[in-house]
């Protein structure tokens, strides 16, 4: 078992605006999309990394992954496990911030265009955007609701699932797992 890294506030601040590379490999079936990297994510170069983030515990509870991947940072073996399962991870906005409310409308719109281009190029069967507010902002769809979206991106189904951040207090690992399982089933992972 690995020991979780610790960072001072100053150390985390030094990762502001750092980008985290997409985690995408061959056989991509399900592309999870975060809002943007947090500072902890940038520091560890691990998507959805933060001690309070429930992304990996929810994936495990849903059966989407079969390893316990720590929410504080992953190993190369953890990354390989996700890729082997056909799972990829990217973000709408690439730069790291302390909070998503630091992002501009223009950044969301540009990130939405970049994401569409990525999906057009990779053509995964399913995309799952984690966060309804970010989805609405990135794609100019103020009335979008969570779940399967009515419009496909080419052959790709688009889902909006809850953000796994600990700040999203009305979701639990169990409810996140249930909501992440639906696009995983659509992608043939479950």
The 8-class DSSP code of residue 135 comes to H
pLDDT of residue 56: 95
Q: Nearest-CA neighbor of 88 among 177, 147, 149, 22?
A: 22
Q: Cα–Cα distance between 29 and 179 in angstroms, integer?
A: 17
pLDDT digits (tens, 9 = 90+) for 104-129: 999 999 999 999 999 999 999 999 99
Q: What is the mean pLDDT of residues 23-32?
A: 97
Given the structure tokens 């100053």, which residue do they identify?
A: 10
**pLDDT beyond 70 at 181:** yes
Kind plus residue range of the DSSP H or E element containing 126? strand 126-130
Q: How far is CA 1 from CA 69, 70, 74, in A?
A: 10, 9, 11
Q: Report the pLDDT value the prediction gives residue 118, as an integer from 0 to 100.
A: 98
The pLDDT-based confidence of 4 (bands split at 50, 70, 90) is low
3-state SS, residue 39: helix
pLDDT digits (tens, 9 = 90+) for 120-169: 999 999 999 999 999 999 999 999 999 999 999 999 999 999 999 867 77
Whether 16 contacts 98, CB under 8 Å: yes
Give the whole-angstrom CA distance, residue 148 versus residue 124: 15
The two tokens of residue 16 are 């502001």
Q: What is the reported pLDDT for 143? A: 97
Confidence (pLDDT) at 3: 53
What tens digit of pLDDT does each residue of 36-93 get?
999 999 999 999 998 888 999 999 999 999 999 988 889 999 999 999 999 999 999 9
Does the pTM surpass 0.75? The reply is yes
Q: In b/e form, how buried is each residue of 37-53, taking b as 16+ CB within 10 angstroms?
A: bbbbbbbbbbbbbbeeb
CATH class of 19-186: alpha beta
What is the enclosing helix (H) or strand (E) of 48? none
Q: How far apart are the first and last CA of the chain?
A: 27
The pLDDT value recorded for residue 48 is 94
Map out the domains of the chain as residue ranges: 19-186
Which of 71, 45, 67, 98 minimizes the C-alpha distance to 164?
71
| Of 37, 20, 33, 146, nearest in space to 102 by CA | 37
Residues forming beta bridges with residue 126, ordered by sequence position: 30, 157
């Amino acid at each position: 078992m690995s020991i979780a890294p610790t960072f001072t506030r100053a150390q985390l601040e030094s990762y502001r605006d750092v980008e985290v590379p997409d985690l995408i490999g061959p056989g991509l079936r399900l592309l999870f999309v975060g809002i943007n990297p947090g500072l902890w994510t940038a520091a560890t170069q691990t998507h959805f990394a933060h001690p309070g983030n429930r992304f990996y515990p929810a994936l495990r509870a849903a059966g989407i992954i079969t390893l316990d991947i720590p929410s504080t940072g992953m190993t190369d073996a953890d990354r390989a496990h996700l890729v082997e399962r056909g799972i990829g991870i990217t973000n709408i906005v690439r730069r790291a911030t302390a909070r998503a409310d630091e992002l501009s409308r223009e950044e969301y719109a540009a990130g939405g265009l970049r994401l569409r281009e990525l999906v057009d190029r990779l053509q995964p069967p399913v995309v799952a955007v984690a966060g309804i507010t970010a989805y609405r902002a990135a794609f100019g769809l103020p009335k979008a609701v969570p779940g399967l979206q009515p419009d496909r991106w080419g052959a790709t189904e688009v889902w909006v699932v809850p953000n796994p951040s600990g700040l999203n207090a009305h979701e639990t690992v169990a409810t996140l797992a249930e909501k992440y399982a639906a696009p995983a089933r659509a992608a043939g992972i479950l």
